Structure 1
């Protein structure tokens, strides 16, 4: 293995707290029952539509009223994108170790580019990230392997020599389809309908925390000495 690619929300960066804040504020403003934080967390990887649906379950997702609420949610998130957001515990040392050994790391996400770039800028990761592939860059998003191949091409490393880490079945499906080594981040935002049987995702490896992830990556990249 020669490179590491990450999904964004729920894998590399813990963004749930900001989504929870916004969704719960929307509930309060509308006089609706406040959606539980744990439930919102399970929908983060499903995207804005799924989270907003928790607030307005009676609306069709194609209803202009629903679409307006979704846009308001995105605008609120974009305006305060990293109030309570940070990398998962242990991720800073992991990225530093990769960089110390000149191993490129990057991101393949279904998050829109304008939000992805704003998030990376807020966390001072823009210059450190070797590649960022978003939905706007491809004709087919994950679980299709197209974005995986594009990321590998941009860092000039064969897809089969890349590790991909994700917290959703589509991440693992996309990585497997591109012949990458797939790691399921069980510490992430596992969707309710898939979280009870993680083995069914058919990832090459499952990790429960970033410490485990770092050790697996060290082994795969044959890093023999870590930095403090």
Structure 2
């Protein structure tokens, strides 16, 4: 395939933020008198936002009467540690360098709010390389809605059919397909045992970032 624009999800696709997401969840568990959970138990749910993290950390969902309070508490704690140690996935910097050499534009479309996303990109030195950053609070409907992806295309002047979207969650693939883009699953990301990526009907799967370069 020959896309002219590559868009990435942030958490679990471009950047490994699971250690900091898990650290914040364990801080919250500590506040509630619970023992810390191993990071590897939290990691598969790190792409599912506070909803997924609270489900694994406290066994609660949106039906819980205090769910909104738990979300607020978690986001407050995460806000204190979110830039503690974010890392690009192994091989990602080489991929981005190759994009620069080939004049391939890339951007990020994430459900993560800008107050976290923009500082993360800056800390990793990606802000100037990234052609656009569309965050969850920049749009009226987050993924699986295609709104953010289409916004990125409009902003950069590309057609969806000339764009590929890479993500590690089913909603990423749903959003990409709804937008009319080529879709790629980042199998190295935060997939749980319950995920069935073969059923997401993406165009491709990659098991390490460098493989994306072979598809473009």
Distance change (3 Å), C-alpha of 1:180 and 1:26:
same
Q: Secondary structure at the match of 2:82?
A: coil
Q: 2 CA distance for matches of 1:177 and 1:22?
A: 33
Q: 2 CA distance for matches of 1:60 and 1:131?
A: 32
User: 1:37 offset after TM fit, Å?
Assistant: 1.8
With normalisation by structure 1, the TM-score equals 0.86
Detail structure 1 runs of 4+ shifted over 4 Å in the superposition: 58-62
Distance change (3 Å), C-alpha of 1:159 and 1:58:
closer
Q: Which residue of the partner structure matches residue 205 of structure 1? A: 204
Matches within 5 A, 1:67-146: 67-146=68-147
Q: Is the 8 A contact 1:108 1:133 kept in 2?
A: yes
Q: Is the 8 A contact 1:13 1:85 kept in 2?
A: yes
| Structure 2: stretches of 5+ with no match in the other structure | none
How many residues align structurally? Answer: 214
Is 1:17 aligned to 2:16, yes or no?
no
Deviates further, 37-46 or 89-98: 37-46
| Structure 1: stretches of 5+ with no match in the other structure | 221-228
Distance change (3 Å), C-alpha of 1:136 and 1:22:
closer
User: 1:59 offset after TM fit, Å?
Assistant: 7.2
1:19-63 Cα offsets, whole Å, 9 max, x none, are 122222332343214323222111111101221333332575553
Q: Is the 8 A contact 1:107 1:133 kept in 2?
A: yes
Q: 2 CA distance for matches of 1:29 and 1:57?
A: 16
1:57-78 Cα offsets, whole Å, 9 max, x none, are 25755534x4333223212222
Q: Is the 8 A contact 1:45 1:191 kept in 2?
A: no
Q: Which residue of the partner structure matches residue 153 of structure 1? A: 154
Matches within 5 A, 1:18-37: 18-37=20-39
Q: Secondary structure at the match of 1:24?
A: helix
Q: 2 CA distance for matches of 1:69 and 1:141?
A: 21
1:107-148 Cα offsets, whole Å, 9 max, x none, are 011111111112112212122211111122222221121211
With normalisation by structure 2, the TM-score equals 0.91
Q: Which residue of the partner structure matches residue 44 of structure 1? A: 46
Aligned alpha-carbon RMSD (Å): 1.8
User: 1:215 offset after TM fit, Å?
Assistant: 2.2
